[in-house]
Amino acid sequence: MADVARLAGVSPTTVSFVINERPGSGIPEETRLRVLTAVEDLGYQPNRQARSLRLQRTRQLGFHVSGELLEPHHVFAVSFVSHLLREAERRGYQILVFTSSGDVTDRLSELVAAHSVDGFVITDSSIDDPRARYLAGVGMPFASFGRTEADLPQSWVDVDNVAGIGSMIDYLVGSGHEHIAYVGPRQPGYWFRERLEGFLARTRHHGLSVPDSWVVQEPREKVEAAVGRLVSGRRRPTAVVTAADWLAVEAIRAVRSAGLRVGHDVAVTGFDGGPLQWLTDPPLTTVRLPFEQAAAALVERCLREIEEGPTGEPGVYLPTDIVVGGSA
């Protein structure tokens, strides 16, 4: 660090502020670039272990993956974790990924007691999530992909599910569809409830009539059969809006089995915008989640909690967009 300081013509403290991306340091951009050039010219690599000992930090963030997200049909975890790993590495951190077959708070308490991580990123959360409540109770920094209860830290990042599904209805109506059905899973998760609420509100806004039988909520293993009955009826929808990409895959299979053409006879749409979008034939039209933005915001919020203590910041919503494929 002293060598870098000499070459750049600055103090070692300035070098430290630049390489550690210390917020509020007030380092001029020209000085920062001079330091980074000296770092590159000298091939300087900070000693992570020494730094961790000095700061009493592990330079690791814990990331809990629930058992449900490990199921093969769930691609959300893969889509999100890849961006989370990259963002953490960019900020000089590593991600400790873990799961739990029992009470997840027991696993969290083990990691906290062992000082294995500096903070946590949680996802697939409920509003009153036991993980968030435990971490808040022991004063452990965390950020959540998903909202938390009002009495918990609001260091969350989320998407507006109602607006996201509503934009898909607008797109379909703009494409000429007036007979639209909805397919969601029969499982908990406020995001699924909000997507159904958004579907119903936006179809009413457009003056569309949606029969009760066109609102399907079934376990994954029954979705294909349910959609098959839907599109085989005398009066069938011209579009099927699903609450997740993995549900859209089941719907596409059902449409094909009924002898209909996906994207021509029946449009099918998804929600999540993960790898499944390009694995369907035709490619899936879906609501895309901003995984890269979410990962960056979550790491940033968690690190601020670590470095500055409780920030009291409000949660933040990130926008979604629609990726158009051949399915709708």
Domain housing 283: 161-288
Query: Are 167 and 280 in the same domain?
Result: yes
Query: Are 208 and 300 in the same domain?
Result: no
CATH number of the domain residue 22 falls in: 1.10.260.40
* Dihedral in degrees, nearest 10, Cα atoms 29, 34, 37, 42: -140
pLDDT tens per residue across span 66-100: 766 666 656 666 778 889 999 999 999 999 999 88
Query: Are 187 and 276 in the same domain?
Result: yes
At 72 the pLDDT is 61
At 46 the pLDDT is 64
Query: Are 226 and 243 in the same domain?
Result: yes
User: Closest by alpha carbon to 122, among 151, 150, 152?
Assistant: 152
Query: Are 98 and 195 in the same domain?
Result: no
Residue 213 lies in a domain: yes
Residue 328 lies in a domain: no
How much is the mean pLDDT over the chain?
Answer: 89
Query: Are 38 and 60 in the same domain?
Result: no
Asked whether residue 53 carries a pLDDT value surpassing 50, the answer given is no
Query: Are 154 and 295 in the same domain?
Result: yes
Q: Backbone phi, then psi, for 210, in 5-degree steps? A: -120, 105
At 16 the pLDDT is 82
pLDDT tens per residue across span 273-326: 767 777 888 999 999 999 999 999 999 999 999 988 888 889 999 999 999 999
Question: Whole-angstrom distance between the N-terminal and C-terminal Cα of the chain?
Answer: 56
Residue 32 lies in a domain: yes
Query: Are 20 and 75 in the same domain?
Result: no
313 half-sphere exposure, CB direction, 13 A CA radius: 21
Give the integer Cα–Cα distance in Å for 36 and 40.
Answer: 6
Sequence-ordered alpha helix ranges (H) in 130-174 = 130-137, 161-174
Sequence-ordered alpha helix ranges (H) in 9-114 = 12-19, 29-42, 48-55, 76-90, 104-113
pTM: 0.78
At 99 the pLDDT is 85
Q: Backbone phi, then psi, for 93, in 5-degree steps? A: -120, 160
Asked whether residue 50 carries a pLDDT value surpassing 70, the answer given is no
At 134 the pLDDT is 94
Query: Six-digit token pair at 147?
Result: 């909202």
Query: Are 165 and 284 in the same domain?
Result: yes
Query: Are 64 and 212 in the same domain?
Result: no
Residue 146 lies in a domain: yes
pLDDT tens per residue across span 214-260: 999 999 899 999 999 999 988 999 999 999 999 999 999 999 999 99
Residue 141 lies in a domain: yes
At 172 the pLDDT is 98
Contact 202, 241 (CB under 8 A): no
At 309 the pLDDT is 83
pLDDT tens per residue across span 109-163: 999 999 999 999 998 888 889 999 999 999 999 999 999 999 999 999 999 999 9
Mean pLDDT within 177-189: 93
Give the integer Cα–Cα distance in Å for 39 and 2.
Answer: 11
Could you give the angle at which helices 190-205 and 161-174 cross, rounded to 10 degrees?
40
CATH number of the domain residue 207 falls in: 3.40.50.2300
> What's the domain count of the chain?
3
At 71 the pLDDT is 67
Locate tokens 């059969």: which residue? 225
Residue 324 lies in a domain: no
Residue 323 lies in a domain: no
Residue 300 lies in a domain: yes
Identify the band that residue 52 occupies on the pLDDT scale cut at 50, 70 and 90.
very low
Query: Are 133 and 207 in the same domain?
Result: no
Query: Are 29 and 69 in the same domain?
Result: no
